[in-house]
Copies of this chain bind each other. A is one copy, B any other.
Amino acid sequence: MKKDLKDMVYGFVGLGLMGGSLAKAVRENVLSVADASGRIFACDKNRTVLDLAKKGGIIDEGFSAETADDMISACDFVYVCLYPHATLDFLTNHGSFFKKGAIVTDISGVKAGIVDGLSETLHDYADFIPGHPMAGSEKEGYIHSSGAVFSGRNYILLPQRTTNPENLVLFKELITAIGFTRIIETDAETHDHKIAFTSQLCHIIASALVDSAEDEKITEFGGGSFEDLTRIAMINAPLWSELFLANKKELLDHIESFEEALDDLKELIRWNDGKGLTKKLENVRKKRMAMSCIDTSA
């Protein structure tokens, strides 16, 4: 029988900012039709969050961390919404409890470590298709989750050699249904290389810029540029430390390329090369304008 998104049982492992936002998006966009028979389960070590989500009508049932296996064995689609190392640990330790043929995915911001670290046997139990929803917030926890944050965003998918094509189609339907507008398919190495630039390097730069501010009153002299560049410096420190270290080589390479570009500009200024500076900035403007960017003003 062909699976239908509206009749599936979804399980969220970890109901934080991302798990909560994804669960809400599924509830609001997929299970809101009259004839939907699908359900949403979630497991989290925080009982209060589970109660809140159940009371709010987002999940149908909450499971403690200890009873995670009870949950995942009943789910057609499992979203593992944990930090990178915890994701690998969960998949390694609980892999054999997934429902046979279930679609399983994650949201980790680094991929090679997970894909390479997994035992091949996981694929005997479930169809693990790693993914990376490109949306977030400087706020943390279920309390700040929202089903609306995925609108217009990018989703990166990493189909595996073992991926069932029908499951991939179904997964993409889900991604589109919850608001994403662009799905990129790639491999773990390419993902980690590109993400080290678009995401991790940006967070490093924002953090360094805040760190180098003389004092907290400097913003009185600002026009918004500093704010826009440093919003992401309100960072989830443990999560991002883990991401940076897990993608160390790629990230260090990008930092160094950025430093070279910065050095080029610095030298043009140091030597009063107005003509060279104008030319460089004109090229930068053209390059940025040619980029197909998502609208982040929402």
Contact = CB atoms under 8 A, between A and B. Distances in A.
Interface stretch (A30-38, A52-60, A114-122, A220-228): A220-228
A214 interface: yes
A265 B223 contact: no
B280 A223 contact: no
A164 interface: no
- Which of under 10, 10 to 19, 20 to 34, or 35 or more describes the interface residues of A? 35 or more
A132 B156 CA distance: 43
Interface in A55-85: none
Say what secondary structure dominates the interface of chain A: helix
A274 B245 contact: yes
25 contacts: A134-B222, A153-B223, A184-B221, A194-B221, A197-B214, A198-B225, A198-B226, A202-B226, A205-B205, A208-B265, A210-B284, A219-B291, A222-B294, A224-B294, A226-B293, A227-B294, A227-B296, A228-B229, A228-B296, A233-B285, A237-B277, A244-B269, A245-B277, A255-B262, A255-B266
Interface of A: 134-136, 153-154, 156, 182, 184, 186, 191, 194-195, 197-199, 201-214, 216-235, 237-238, 240-242, 244-245, 248, 251-252, 254-255, 257-262, 264-266, 269-270, 272, 274, 277-285, 287-294, 296-297
